[in-house]
Structure 1
Amino acid sequence: MDIYLVGGAVRDRLLGLEPGDRDHVVVGQTPEAMLAAGFRPVGRDFPVFLHPETNEEYALARTERKSGRGYRGFVVDSDPSVTLEEDLGRRDFTINAIAEGEDGALVDPFNGARDIEARVLRHVGAAFVEDPLRVLRAARFMARFAALGFTVAPETMALMREMSASGELDALVPERVWQELSKALASKQPSAFIRTLHDCGALVAVLPEVEALYGVPQRAEYHPEVDTGVHVELVCDMAARLAPGDTAIGFAALTHDLGKALTPEDELPRHVMHEQRGLAPLRVLCERLKVPTAHRELALMACREHLNVHRLLELRDASVHDLFARCDAFRKPDRVAALAIACEADKRGRAGLQDAPYPQRAELLRLHAAAMAVSTRDIASDGLTGLQIGEAMRKARIAAIARARASA
């Protein structure tokens, strides 16, 4: 068999990164030959097999021809006559269209190695426009590689603008949008995902609630960056710095200020009640993308409570307790730490304030621990009903918060 290592494993090695999954292309073979050699079939839309010993993926070389709307409308040809170069030619970006033979020699018909050296994300060919998912993939690769100095080639950005204007992105199913978004939020620079989609006109189709934040002014004394869209970019990157790979915190960072897009013009640049205004569009976004429950709950908490956490040192003891209660933090204590990080990302995700202290994070955890230390054993329960026990617990927890503050 003529077997080549392809895709991300080759790309990442050339970038000096730790390679991830190893994918292979097999040229000149049939599904029957793969089965006879002991490979296990796993592909549904085209022939993909797992190696009998390593479990790595081996796909037959194939071509794709557009046959309908969206990213699923393709006819696949995996005839043994398909060449390696033809297989590489159907791929999205030149940096992903490099193959490595078993002797270590590179097959690079589209100069992907040159683009890796130049740090350029460039489409392979005109067929790029046939798959709307590639717009999201471009943005996601930028989230991963912008920190290495990558930019999108001008001609590729031009094609992405054409694709966005064509309405093709409307065919993307929510699960694929969420998949690409969550990968971007787990990357080093999520802002590059948002900015790339914004610059090519795709953000309005994919995340209209976030697109609406661009151009919305904020008070410069609190937000030197002024533009709310830019602020959200900074918050996403700060969240990635504070909680690397945590997509729930990243999603909360992305969506915490959606209400600012709904501030009446005559109130700008102030955003009174934007926390409450943001809850409705956030719920719509979560419903549309089928966002996982844990991500949704943390995002709603961060949207509703971030100003309260910022003002934590000024809140009354009872207000601190009620914040915890609204977040169901006595039954689900782990979410307090995540909320604190999301709020810190908001406070430090501002131009020139990335190294500002945020004592509220440690204080929120300290006061929550004090309240959590109260148990029903600390309450005289003789003759108390269920509701009375609940009120007694509330008073005891507020007293514990007060003692913790007094001892600081």
Structure 2
Amino acid sequence: MTTDLKPDFRTGTRIVRIGEASWSLKLGLLRWSIAGLVATGVLFLIGLSVGFTTPVHVARIILGGGTTAENIVIFDDVLPRVLVGSLAGFSLALAGCLTQIVTRNPLATPDMLGITSGASAGAVLALTSGSTGFGAFFTALGVPTSALIGGLFAALLMYALAWTKGQVITSTLRLILIGVGLTWMMQAVVGYVMTRADVHDSGTAQKWLVGSLASLGWSSVITVGVAAVIGIGWSMANTRSLAVSSLGPDIAQGLGVRLGVVTYGTLITAVVVASLAVSVAGPIAFVGLVAPQIALRLAHTAQPTPMFSGLVGAAMVLTADIVCRTIAPAGLPVGVITAAVGGPFLVLLIIQSARRSPV
């Protein structure tokens, strides 16, 4: 068995061969992915050190050189928050990338399709319902499971309303329009539950709904870590199929891709990953929309790539958290910062899509 690395300067790729198997390695994407990993690591250290010490001292504490007081501050207070921020940003961006790939539309993300709103409705029911009434069922299940049920219900309802007989992928315009309507329906559910809830529970849920990393522990890290692992596992196992499916259903099926399995499996994976991330950090706005498109423009790839999009999403949330804890007013949730950036970016995407449209 031999290994051969053959460069292709016309496409900027390198063909890696091991025996009869071969893979194409995009050099530009590899360089940007390494840069994204380094940038995320630097932001991670900065996030741990904000208001406490320097990134160099934080690295020393993590490597076992800290005092008892320093270990308590880093490992019990700050580290869970920063880990949840990075993993939630990674998961939301990866989920947005997956939905954009299978629908071949940059606007088709969990935010726009009603998935995160469905997850939010389930989570709010668990947070505010107490031990009596209809919501007691969700309270007993817990926030992560309730958010997952809400996200799956919203996705199923959205796809059922948009489904066209004989088509695996329905009209993306129809999906987005139904998703927007479904989002407002779920927002109505959330509003009703909030008005009927206890004042304290309602306040907690309201802060969570904006997207917040405050008061998070290691159990939250485990939940969002599971989401990231699920997303990475599916993306790595279906790298070729996802790349080919972006060429269109006819070409994908002609090249041997089981389009139904890839499409539905990818959508279910995106729903699970986004719902679990939302259950921990709240619906942090626009990460799933903006991060894949930034990754696409940086790496100059034909479509967003899940891993690099996830790194960009992690960097976005970590940066927003650093801004919230430094120059922003005290207690400002990270979702406010990401919404301030994502809103104008959404307008830009809509304008660009309208200019490309032949109609």
Smaller-chain TM-score range? under 0.3
TM-score normalised by L of structure 1: 0.19
> Higher Cα Rg: structure 1 or 2?
1
More helix by share: 2
* Larger relative contact order (Cα-Cα within 8 Å, sequence gap ≥ 6): 2
